[in-house]
Amino acid sequence: MAAPAPVSPLAVPLPALPPLAGVRLAAGAAGIRYQGRTDLLLVECARGTTVAGAFTRNLCPGAPVDWCRAILPAGRARGLVVNAGNANVFAGRAGLAAARESAVAAGRLLGCPARQVFLASTGVIGEALPAGRIPAALPALHAALAPDAWEQAARAIMTTDTFPKAATRSARIGGDEVRLNGFAKGSGMIAPDLATMLCFVFTDAAIPAPALQSALSRAVGASFNRTTVDSDTSTSDTVLLFATGEARHPSVPERGGRLLAEFRAALDDLLHDLALQVVRDGEGASKLIRIAVTGAVSSASAKRVAMAIANSPLVKTAVAGEDANWGRIVMAVGKAGEPADRDRLSIAIGGVWMARNGAVAAGYDEAPVLAHMKGREIAIEADLGLGTGAAEVWTCDLTHGYITINGSYRS
Amino acid sequence: MAAPAPVSPLAVPLPALPPLAGVRLAAGAAGIRYQGRTDLLLVECARGTTVAGAFTRNLCPGAPVDWCRAILPAGRARGLVVNAGNANVFAGRAGLAAARESAVAAGRLLGCPARQVFLASTGVIGEALPAGRIPAALPALHAALAPDAWEQAARAIMTTDTFPKAATRSARIGGDEVRLNGFAKGSGMIAPDLATMLCFVFTDAAIPAPALQSALSRAVGASFNRTTVDSDTSTSDTVLLFATGEARHPSVPERGGRLLAEFRAALDDLLHDLALQVVRDGEGASKLIRIAVTGAVSSASAKRVAMAIANSPLVKTAVAGEDANWGRIVMAVGKAGEPADRDRLSIAIGGVWMARNGAVAAGYDEAPVLAHMKGREIAIEADLGLGTGAAEVWTCDLTHGYITINGSYRS
């Protein structure tokens, strides 16, 4: 019951991100909310960069999300501006004006139209973004743009995050190697049906925007949309994927196709890595939980059951308390509203099947399960015994840390 | 961050329940889980008692719920047996056998068929109910049956509850007074789409089972189904309404009708009272929250939006922290998946409209709102500005107490 640890016990080391042809970054301080840290990021992309995006499905999105949605169809990007501390959400016309002002200022510095500058903001909702603060800070960032500022970028966008989150992968397109670098932030207000808080991925591949969007949508569905920290869908969730086209490889057709198979796999893997880093930094998290549901009537049904387990406060607090309380998993399966039959349901924790076909498994020994519960990574399996639908989702436990962080976020 | 208070700060005094013609009660100890307290309740109802019920919609219900569902259609009741500490859920055939055994033993004592004995169990899920323990304890309870043991009854069914919950009302049927007495338990695993944990209501009115069921279903929809503690739907939720028919009043037709208008209003009021008592004893609760949504496209839509706010961990922790963080309310409205338009949305706390039509209200002064947040009862209003649909739901805040209780419930 101490104050939350300064760094999540589930944190992973920050990987070194190599430079990526066509991308330069700079972090700085706009002084909007935080003192003594960076809170503003400027990214410059090479001419010809294509872009794909995925945004929150929250119906009260922030002004930067509206901005990105409006400019995304052109599929072209030259810049990205991200600020942390103020989400520019529910700020009315002033919010949209502040967003536009940032894009115009960045476009002027980068030598491109404002509509090629993507924006994201994260932080408190409902407070006006102080006018002019971002445009005033951007020239210094522009002067400092560098190809190796990935760590600084990952740090500048953090809010309640306790560690910076980044990942890098490579893939071949027609035998030629391309690189993917990505970073993300997110810790609370993390739930499915969205694209987590903020995630930015860059590749030097040359990929037409439609193929890029298709690869991104698939990867988001298999990664961020299968994680949840607290079931609360943010108003600002944004995933953007920029392809600078600086790498040399066979030309990729509009629709992508088989030439992109390895690229798509690397993108899936990278987004999965970043999504799990977000869950590992779930507010107050002390354990990472993998929930695998099998035997459902469909994979969509399996996902909904898995999410019902992942979002159950009683399951999450039981894991926090290292209590192998599988009865709460039964409850969560039953409340999901999906086809389920108590008398075919089986539950395992840490690979030990505790309940089989609606009752305690014969000879069930709790000892190995209790040992598993003491670890940092908890595996929950539920087999519904109805069909072949399967899904896997990730979440974290619900601890005193979550209450402490969110009972005093603004103060 | 201390251990949870022994009694909820939102507790209300237990009202004195007068005897009710046709009902005798007794509490005792079966020693199934708890030491040094009562954990078993026997209620005897007069011959001719009619009954109505509402049960959990969780698809993994407990054996007692299966039992009640099977015998309810006959609409006749002579007895009720409730045990606390073991929910008899997910216990396979042994669970159903244990339930039947309790009903048979009680029926023998009460001189009625087992199928006129209703059952409810609450407590840990997935542990076998020790065979014979309840039948062995029942004769002593039968010998002690008394018309004034309402408080003992309300206490015997408690689990994590911190105070007993009861209410009494009277109503006239055709000018003659009838009485309603009810008691309930529930503190966690409380969510909508169900009939809370356990609630038992008794009346001396003579009401045909169909009319009784119709009155109960309506009242449950307007009370328990509009409350949530933690969004987790229990496997054992049961509301039963028994009408002993001992009062004298004009004969009530099968379909009820206008003769029951005042009775229905009293029942609504009594269930609303009990439902709020359950929320007031929400695990770890320090504040009672009323959420009123107006301006939705329909009342069903308004209820779903209100429940999205009520189940948002970020809204609930903000209230716990006395933080007037209306941005989180905006987020919850937006994630509900119901028609909403950010630019028509208005939010109030404590009667002060903080946001109007998608932006901070002109001249908004946070001081009176912060004063309201320090109180025990918090009023949140959201006007969607779309139509005339309205709904009101109740919940409690999410505190360290909830984590403490549920991280160690079994230990």
Cβ neighbours for B202, distance < 8 A, ≥ 6 positions apart: B20, B22, B23, B43, B45, B180, B181, B182, B241, B242, B243, B244
Contacts A325 to B, Cβ<8 Å: 125, 409-410
What the block records as the tokens of B120 is 């409810």
Chain A's closest residue to B232, CA to CA, is: A312
Residue spans of the domains in chain A: they are 23-280, 288-406
Burial A32-42 (b: 16+ CB within 10 A, else e): bbbeeebbbbb
Sign of CA dihedral B226, B230, B233, B239: negative
Cross-chain residue pair B235–A334, CB shorter than 8 Å: yes
A196 near A229, Cβ under 8 Å?
no
Cβ neighbours for A141, distance < 8 A, ≥ 6 positions apart: A26, A27, A28, A40, A41, A42
Cross-chain residue pair B358–A90, CB shorter than 8 Å: yes
Instruction: Give which of A89, A122, A323, A342 to mutate to test B binding, by max B Cβ within 10 Å.
Output: A342
Q: Residue B92: what pLDDT?
A: 79
Q: Residue B4: what pLDDT?
A: 43
Please give the Cα distance from A219 to A223 (Å, whole number): 6
Please give, rounded to a whole number of angstroms, the shortest distance from the CA of B301 to a CA of chain A. 14
> One of A56, A160, A168, A196 is an active-site residue; which one?
A196
Q: What is the 3-state secondary structure (H, E, C) of B54-69?
A: EECCCCCCCHHHHHHH
Same topology, domains B23-280 and B288-406? Answer is no
User: A288-406 adopts what CATH topology?
Assistant: Ubiquitin-like (UB roll) (3.10.20)
Residues in chain B predicted with pLDDT less than 70, given as ranges, are: 1-5, 187-197, 226-236, 408-411
Kindly list the distances between the CA atom of residue A404 and the CA atoms of A197, A231, A260, A285, B173, in Å, as whole numbers in the listed order: 20, 18, 45, 12, 52
pLDDT of B224-281, one tens digit each?
Answer: 776 666 666 666 677 778 888 898 888 888 888 888 888 888 888 888 888 788 788 8
Chain A's closest residue to B340, CA to CA, is: A59
Q: Vertex B180, ends B179 and B181: CA angle to 5°?
A: 120
Instruction: Give which of B56, B190, B331, B399 to mutate to test A binding, by max A Cβ within 10 Å.
Output: B331
A246 near A204, Cβ under 8 Å?
yes
A260 near A85, Cβ under 8 Å?
no
Q: Residue B213: what pLDDT?
A: 84
pLDDT of A167-210, one tens digit each?
Answer: 898 989 888 889 888 888 876 655 433 334 677 888 888 888 88
Q: Is B123 exposed, middle or buried (0-12, 13-18, 19+ CB in 10 A)?
A: buried
Q: Is domain A23-280 classified as CATH 3.60.70.12?
A: yes
What is the phi/psi pair of residue A137, to 5°? -85, -20
Q: In what order do the strands lie in the sheet with B389-396?
A: B227-228, B389-396, B288-296, B377-383, B346-349, B352-356, B359-360
Cross-chain residue pair B333–A409, CB shorter than 8 Å: no
Cross-chain residue pair B314–A232, CB shorter than 8 Å: yes
From the list B189, B343, B357, the residue facing A314 with the nearest CB is: B189
Chain B's closest residue to A312, CA to CA, is: B232
What the block records as the tokens of A209 is 């925007």
Q: Is B182 exposed, middle or buried (0-12, 13-18, 19+ CB in 10 A)?
A: buried
Give the 3-state secondary structure of residue B185: strand
Please give the Cα distance from B183 to B277 (Å, whole number): 10
Q: Residue A341: what pLDDT?
A: 87
On average, the pLDDT of chain A sits at: 86
Q: Residue A2: what pLDDT?
A: 35
Q: Residue B309: what pLDDT?
A: 93
Cross-chain residue pair A230–B128, CB shorter than 8 Å: no
Radius of gyration of chain A from Cα atoms?
A: 22
Q: Residue B82: what pLDDT?
A: 92
Q: Residue A231: what pLDDT?
A: 65
Chain centroid to CA A189: how far?
Answer: 11
Please give the Cα distance from A238 to A216 (Å, whole number): 12
Please give the Cα distance from A66 to A72 (Å, whole number): 10
B225: left (phi over 0), alpha (psi -120 to 50) or beta: alpha
Q: Is B49 exposed, middle or buried (0-12, 13-18, 19+ CB in 10 A)?
A: buried
Residues in chain A predicted with pLDDT less than 50, given as ranges, are: 1-5, 191-196, 409, 411
CB contacts < 8 A (A, B): 233
Please give the Cα distance from A182 to A269 (Å, whole number): 11
Cβ neighbours for A323, distance < 8 A, ≥ 6 positions apart: A373, B407, B408, B409, B410, B411
Contacts B235 to A, Cβ<8 Å: 330-331, 334
Q: Residue B189: what pLDDT?
A: 58
A88: left (phi over 0), alpha (psi -120 to 50) or beta: left
Residue B40: how many CB atoms within 10 A of its CB? Answer: 25
Amino acid at B274: L
Chain B's closest residue to A328, CA to CA, is: B125
Sign of CA dihedral A89, A93, A98, A102: positive
A202 near A216, Cβ under 8 Å?
no
Kindly list the distances between the CA atom of residue B241 and the CA atoms of A193, B81, B204, B248, in Å, as whole numbers in the listed order: 41, 14, 11, 19
Please give, rounded to a whole number of angstroms, the shortest distance from the CA of B163 to a CA of chain A. 21
What the block records as the tokens of A265 is 């796999």
